[in-house]
Amino acid sequence: MGMLPINNMYWVIVVVLLWILPWKGYALWKAARKGETKWFVALLVINTFAILDILYIFIFSKDKKKETRETQMVSEEK
């Protein structure tokens, strides 16, 4: 009553893993390549159903040197 049958739970687990593993793998790879040990450990230990991984990939791992160069190029054009 109200609980999913065991057979349906396997599908839920498979779907969740298929969502989490690629994001986690890419985020860990990116943190390791950039030498960001604290981020690597946090991404490895904390499970947020890929939310932290996605935030790291698209927000926190931005190359600050690249952003600085782009900002300088824009200001030089003015």
Judge whether 50 lies within some domain. yes
Give pLDDT tens digits for 31-73: 999 999 999 999 999 988 899 999 999 999 987 766 565 556 5
Judge whether 24 lies within some domain. yes
In a 10 Å sphere around its CB, with 0-12 CB exposed, 13-18 middle and 19+ buried, how is residue 28 labelled?
A: middle
d(CA 58, CA 40) in angstroms, rounded, equals 15
Q: What is the pTM of this model?
A: 0.68
Number of domains in the chain: 1
Residue range(s) defining the domain that contains residue 13? 6-77
Judge whether 64 lies within some domain. yes
Judge whether 52 lies within some domain. yes
Judge whether 38 lies within some domain. yes
Judge whether 1 lies within some domain. no
